[in-house]
Amino acid sequence: MFIHSCSSCEKRQLIFPSQVEGVAGTDSTLSFSFTCWCGAPQTHETGRADVRPVAVAG
């Protein structure tokens, strides 16, 4: 589950796993496609858009 602000109805709503229609990912993000409660197709991205390698001392 996650909370999403719909770009169509402008409501902030809880999205359940049963609403998710597709998932796409990269090394740093996941993108979920789903239909909002209002019926509008939506996408929601999670993760960091800018991932940089971290130097480890040692």
One-letter amino acid of 54: V
> What is the SS3 assignment for 27-57?
CCEEEEEEECCCCCEEEEEEECCCCCCCCCC
Q: pLDDT tier at 43 (50, 70, 90 boundaries)?
A: very high
pLDDT exceeds 90 at position 52 = no
10 contact partners, CB below 8 Å, separation of at least 6? none
Domain residue extents for the chain? 2-47
One-letter amino acid at 34 equals F
Q: Is the pLDDT of residue 41 over 90?
A: yes
Q: Cα-flanking dihedrals φ and ψ of residue 26, to 5°?
A: -125, -170
Residue-wise pLDDT tens digits, 2-38 = 899 999 999 999 999 999 999 998 888 889 999 999 9
pLDDT band at 40 (very low <50, low <70, confident <90, very high): very high
